[in-house]
């Protein structure tokens, strides 16, 4: 019996709503810590007030998809501008001029600005995913480069806080300058020279730890751990640290000789404190590096599986296209034996059909309008050679012609209907088709007459179709066939969301 797997899925709007709530919680925590008697009462009050003031923003975020679907793209942009470009600035003005506001003006202003910045960040992420995700620009940046970028950002923030702390008695003393939780843009601009000095001093200090991380990533994990196992990795790491940490300790002493970090590091390069720091950098980054390597290997496996699936789909198309081609040539051969005047028209239609098979059929997706046109041309070609009148119906009402789907899926049913039911029929045959689209689901029904005394083999068309559906729409399709009262019915449902 197939095991049922349960997955926790969250919509994009729900995820963004959760992120906005997390932002408000962080701001409430910061506000709580600013009180002398920090506790749950202060925290819950801050969270509740922040949520109340930002109800329009939270409501817009959670219902973003429904708003876009109901109002259209143009009206959605207007609603977005009203929420983030009008309401949030109005909230800031309220915090500045409404003296009896139940929240501190600084907290309310910060919350409004953070919500606006978060929305812009989410919009930038959405734009990147739609425009550049397939190009893999950022994927070319290695993990070591990302760590270096993060280190530079951290150092820049610390340097800005250090310059902002200058002149404040709690941090700036004759002995040293401590880094406080301060940010003053005016001090940073006027003291930009001090900012650069502190930045490069801190950057060189952080790069000592980055050097150990780089060796761990490129040498210890990549070679020794993967090839010789955990024990040899631990022993080799300890040996490498023994060689390096005294030299790195001496470098830290030289780098911290300025007024900012004077006395921060031990003045003995052989101290156990320096050794412990080096060991921590190497062994604490091991799980991260192993996780990244596992993710990279898993990505490679997924890419190989994708390539295998693509190759299998191409093989199925190669089997399907000649199958259709040979059937159509048989029809033309029959017309030529009859010296029918419709032979030239049939050849022209066949040319159009083969053009679709060669060019459109090789694409991953085509529009429903193109697929319907292909089906119509095929059935017109088939009806030319029929001797008896065909009861034919093709209902395409309630159809989104621009919806995309994989090409040449529906033709298999029509081919089988003509080959096994209509062509060999001694009585009047019937073919009723219905194609509709609603709520991201495509519904196709092919109903044709057949005669029980006519023997036939299933052929490769239907089996190929089932395999293509498994590869293209796994767990998103339903194919059902029935034979009842001299009528064969095939029903296909596809989830195209």
Q: Mind listing the pLDDT tens digit for each residue in 121-146?
A: 888 887 776 665 545 555 556 677 87
pLDDT of residue 72: 77
Best CA proximity match to 474, nearest among 466, 484, 464: 466
Residue spans of the chain under pLDDT 50: 1-8, 134, 319-320, 454-455
For the chain, how far is it from start to end, CA to CA, in angstroms?
A: 28
pLDDT at 51: 92
Q: Round to whole Å and give the CA distance between 238 and 245.
A: 10
Strands 487-495 vs 477-484: parallel, antiparallel or unpaired: antiparallel
Query: What pLDDT, on the 0 to 100 scale, is given for residue 55?
Result: 92
Contact 182, 160 (CB under 8 A): no
* Cα–Cα nearest to 425, from 387, 385, 394, 460: 387
- How far does CA 58 lie from the centroid of its chain? 23
Confidence at residue 347, expressed as pLDDT on a 0 to 100 scale: 79
Round to whole Å and give the CA distance between 446 and 481: 9
Q: What is the mean pLDDT of the chain?
A: 79
Domain boundaries along the sequence of the chain: 12-126, 161-294, 300-495
Burial of 24 (0-12, 13-18, 19+ CB in 10 A): buried
Q: Do the strands 429-438 and 441-449 form a parallel or antiparallel pair, or are they unpaired? A: antiparallel
Contact criterion met (CB below 8 Å) for 94 and 64: no
Q: What would the pLDDT profile of 20-38 be if each residue is shown by its tens digit?
A: 999 999 988 888 887 777 7
| Contact of 479 with 490, CB cutoff 8 Å | yes
Position 461 scores a pLDDT of 66
Considering the four listed CATH numbers 3.10.150.10, 3.40.50.1700, 1.10.287.3510, 3.30.565.10, the one that applies to the domain covering 300-495 is 3.30.565.10
429-438/390-395 β-pairing = parallel
pLDDT at residue 1 in the model: 36
Strand partners of residue 494: 442, 477
Strand partners, 414: none
Q: What is the pLDDT of residue 4?
A: 42
CB 369 within 8 A of CB 401: yes
Q: Which two tokens stand for residue 209?
A: 């730890």
The strand order across the sheet containing 390-395 reads 390-395, 429-438, 441-449, 487-495, 477-484
Report pLDDT for 59.
92
439 in the Ramachandran plot: left (φ > 0), alpha (ψ -120 to 50) or beta?
left
pTM above 0.85, yes or no: no
Residues near 420 by Cβ (< 8 Å), separated by ≥ 6?
450, 454, 456, 488
Residue 57 makes CB contacts below 8 A (sequence gap 6+) with: 20, 83, 84, 87, 88, 115
Residue 296's contacts (CB-CB under 8 Å, 6 or more residues apart) are none
Please provide residue 409's backbone torsions phi and psi, each rounded to the nearest 5 degrees: -90, -40
Query: What pLDDT digit, counting tens, does each position of 149-201 carry?
Result: 888 888 898 888 888 888 887 777 766 777 777 878 788 888 888 888 888 88
C-alpha 325/C-alpha 20 separation (Å) is: 57
């Amino acid at each position: 019996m197939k095991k049922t797997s349960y997955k926790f899925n969250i919509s994009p709007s729900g995820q963004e709503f959760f992120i906005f709530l997390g932002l408000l919680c962080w701001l409430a925590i910061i506000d709580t810590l600013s009180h002398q008697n920090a506790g749950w009462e202060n925290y819950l009050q801050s969270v509740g007030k922040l949520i109340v003031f930002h109800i329009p923003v939270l409501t817009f975020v959670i219902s973003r998809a429904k708003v876009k679907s109901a109002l259209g793209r143009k009206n959605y942009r207007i609603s977005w501008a009203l929420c983030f470009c009008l309401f949030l600035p109005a909230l800031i003005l309220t915090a500045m001029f409404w003296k009896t506001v139940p929240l501190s003006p600084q907290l309310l202003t910060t919350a409004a600005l953070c919500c606006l910045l978060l929305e812009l960040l989410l919009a930038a992420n959405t734009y990147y995913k739609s425009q550049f995700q397939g190009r893999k620009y950022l994927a070319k940046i290695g993990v070591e480069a990302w760590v270096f970028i993060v280190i530079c950002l951290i150092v820049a923030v610390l340097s800005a806080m250090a310059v902002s702390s200058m002149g404040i008695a709690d941090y700036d003393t004759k002995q040293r300058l401590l880094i406080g939780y301060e940010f003053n843009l005016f001090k940073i601009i006027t003291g930009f020279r001090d900012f650069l000095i502190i930045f490069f001093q801190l950057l060189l200090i952080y790069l000592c730890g980055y050097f150990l991380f780089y060796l761990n990533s490129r040498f210890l994990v990549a070679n020794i751990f993967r090839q010789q196992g955990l024990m040899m990795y631990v022993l080799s790491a300890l040996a490498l640290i023994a060689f390096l940490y005294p030299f790195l300790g001496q470098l830290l002493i030289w780098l911290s000789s300025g007024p900012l970090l004077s006395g921060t590091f031990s003045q003995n390069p052989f101290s156990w404190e320096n050794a412990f720091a080096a060991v921590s950098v190497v062994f604490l980054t091991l799980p991260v590096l192993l996780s990244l390597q596992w993710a990279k290997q898993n990505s490679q496996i997924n890419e190989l599986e994708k390539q295998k699936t693509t190759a299998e789909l191409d093989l199925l198309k190669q089997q399907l296209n000649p199958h259709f081609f040979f059937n159509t040539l048989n029809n033309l051969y029959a017309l030529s034996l009859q010296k029918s005047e419709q032979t030239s028209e049939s050849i022209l239609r066949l040319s159009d059909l083969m053009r679709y098979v060669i060019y459109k059929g090789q694409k991953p997706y085509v529009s429903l309008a193109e697929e319907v046109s292909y089906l119509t041309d095929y059935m017109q070609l088939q009806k030319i050679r029929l001797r008896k009148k065909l009861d034919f119906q093709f209902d395409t009402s309630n159809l989104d012609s621009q919806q995309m789907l994989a090409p040449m899926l529906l033709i298999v049913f029509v081919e089988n209907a003509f080959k096994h039911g209509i062509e060999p029929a001694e009585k009047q045959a019937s073919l009723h088709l219905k194609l509709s689209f609603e709520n991201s689901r495509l519904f196709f029904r092919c109903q044709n007459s057949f005669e029980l005394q006519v023997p036939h083999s299933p052929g490769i068309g239907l089996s190929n179709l089932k395999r293509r559906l498994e590869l293209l729409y796994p767990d998103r399709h339903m194919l059902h066939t029935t034979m009842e009262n001299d009528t064969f019915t095939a029903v296909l449902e596809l989830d195209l969301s």
